[in-house]
Amino acid sequence: MAINYVPLDKAVHKDLKLSTKPDYSFTESTHIAAASIREYPQLATAMPIVFIKDESTGNHHSVAMLGVEQQKNLYMNDGKWQAPQVPMNIQRYPFDIRPDGDKLGLYIDENSDLLGSEGTSLFTEDGEASELLQNRLQFMDLLANSERLTAEFIKKVVELELLTEIEIRYVTVNNERRTITGMLSIDEPKLLDLADEEVVALHKKGFLGALYAIMMSLGQLNRLVELSNNTESPIRSLQIVNLAQEAAAKAKAETEAAQ
């Protein structure tokens, strides 16, 4: 059923309940999830984090890779989440923060299977937010703050020209060669060449640790290889290619060959 976000209204939704049993089956056809800076260190231990660019706006976003094919989440198997970490943008569902007039409001997906007549009430008999809803509101506030800082972080990364285009090339056990494009990561040589004052400024903002968490997270591509063993097309081998470095190496080889 299609997602249908509506403002949470205590009059309309006074009897609505939320299932508190962890259920991320709604992500089965999701291959990426938004990732925010406060969770980079935790996510980096479980899944790769990369950047993508929205060509319609020119904005960059950081996302956690959940799979190597569109609409296939390798972290879901037999209805169970296969990692110790879950992106906050997945945890927050079926809630969302959206503009509501001249302010931000809490919305819910009315069509979510997590909402219904069974579970824990969102409101008390007096129409006040239940303890569950209060906790969810606190979580959404934490996520919103993290997303605001993420936007500031990415703006600085782009300003310093620290992003470089990458491709992930892999071969399945059936000898099918595939390439994932449209991703960017941190250009480590450029990061190391930054002036000392820039590095200090990044550190004081908490951005330096975020940069290294993202770079280290690419090691979790091996986890995707492992998780692919539960699919019909297991990955046999995989490599990350820095396109700028590849082009430079090719140009150098051609120059040397011409001499």
Query: Any idea where the domains of the chain sit in the sequence?
Result: 5-258
What is the three-class DSSP state of 235?
A: strand
- How confident is the model at residue 153, as a pLDDT? 99
Contacts for 124-129 with beta carbons within 8 Å, 24 or more apart?
127/10, 127/11, 127/14, 129/10
Across the range 55-79, mean pLDDT stands at: 96
Q: Is the pLDDT of residue 1 over 70?
A: no
Mean pLDDT, rounded, of the chain: 95
Across the range 226-251, mean pLDDT stands at: 93
Structure confidence by residue, pLDDT tens digits, 185-225: 999 999 999 999 999 999 999 999 999 999 999 999 999 99
By the 8 A CB rule, do 53 and 16 touch? Answer: no
- How confident is the model at residue 99, as a pLDDT? 83
How many CB atoms are closer than 10 A to CB 241?
13
Across the range 36-52, mean pLDDT stands at: 98
The DSSP secondary structure of 50-73, one letter per residue, reads: EEEE-TTT--EEEEEE--SSTT--
Q: Is the pLDDT of residue 144 over 70?
A: yes
Q: Is the pLDDT of residue 255 over 90?
A: no
Confidence label for 103 from pLDDT (cuts 50, 70 and 90): confident
The DSSP secondary structure of 149-178, one letter per residue, reads: HHHHHHHHHHHTT-EEEEEEEEEETT--EE
- How confident is the model at residue 119, as a pLDDT? 95
pLDDT over 90, % of the chain: 90
pTM: 0.93
Report how far apart, in Å, the C-alpha atoms of 23 and of each of 18, 38, 65, 223 are: 11, 23, 19, 21
d(CA 115, CA 1): 13
